[in-house]
Amino acid sequence: MIKMNFKFLVSLLLFIFLNQISLPLIAQRQGGGFSGAYLFRENGTRPISLAGAYTAISNDPYTIFYNPAGLSSCAPVPMVYSSLSLMEFSRNYANLTYAQSIGDFGIGASISSHYAGSIIARNRTGNEIGKLSDYFFNLALGGSFATNFASFGLVVKYLNNTLQGSDVSGSGVAFDFGSKFNVMDLF
């Protein structure tokens, strides 16, 4: 009986171990291996504490990153500045965010930057040819309109990525649309 329980326990532990190493982690972010991955970075203490599930209760300036419809729910003239260092290797991220509600309307703006530190550039033979720095810049402007039971918002983002020390850069424009429905107010 003890031998059978031991075999069952070993088999169960082996099964659990194999499942743990063969399945990808659900909580793992899948966005660090391509350019612009810093845009997936969570902003603000409330959104981070909610693991990024901030779209339904967004009512502070960080709503410009999650659900632009929440801009009309913001208090008058809040301003938030956050600057923090990301991991090691001299990388840092900073943003300045503003939001204000004016009657049924809301407006917001954000400036974000991400500096990934310097790396030594080398040619094909391995000789040093200089230093390069990866720099991302993001400017966002948004607005929203609220009705009795819903609000709708739009954010326009200008994105720029520059490899400083070379002539390589890229820029683009992105749009975020959002809606927020107050279902409980309908009943």
Q: What are 17's two structure tokens? A: 């171990």
Q: In whole angstroms, what is the distance from residue 41 CA to residue 44 CA?
A: 10
Q: Which residues pair with 136 in a beta bridge?
A: 114, 161
Q: What are 43's two structure tokens? A: 């902003």
The model's confidence at residue 31, banded by pLDDT at 50, 70 and 90, is low
Contact predicate 101/64, CB 8 Å: no
The model's confidence at residue 184, banded by pLDDT at 50, 70 and 90, is confident
pLDDT at 82 over 80: no
Q: What are 45's two structure tokens? A: 């203490």
pLDDT at 187 over 80: no
Q: In whole angstroms, what is the distance from residue 71 CA to residue 60 CA?
A: 7
pLDDT at 115 over 70: yes
Backbone φ/ψ region at 36: left (φ over 0), alpha (ψ -120 to 50), beta: left
Q: In whole angstroms, what is the distance from residue 84 CA to residue 115 CA?
A: 11
pLDDT at residue 63, rounded to an integer: 87
- Report how far apart, in Å, the C-alpha atoms of 121 and of each of 48, 117, 161 are: 35, 13, 18
More confident residue, 183 or 86: 183
pTM greater than 0.85 (yes/no): no
pLDDT at 30 over 70: no
The model's confidence at residue 155, banded by pLDDT at 50, 70 and 90, is very high
- Report how far apart, in Å, the C-alpha atoms of 38 and of each of 1, 32, 54, 165, 168 are: 56, 8, 18, 20, 18
Residue 54's contacts (CB-CB under 8 Å, 6 or more residues apart) are 44, 46, 47, 62, 63, 66, 67
Residue 100's contacts (CB-CB under 8 Å, 6 or more residues apart) are 74, 76, 77, 78, 106, 107, 108
Q: Give percent of the chain with pLDDT exceeding 90.
A: 21
Is the C-alpha dihedral spanning 47, 54, 36, 172 positive or negative? negative
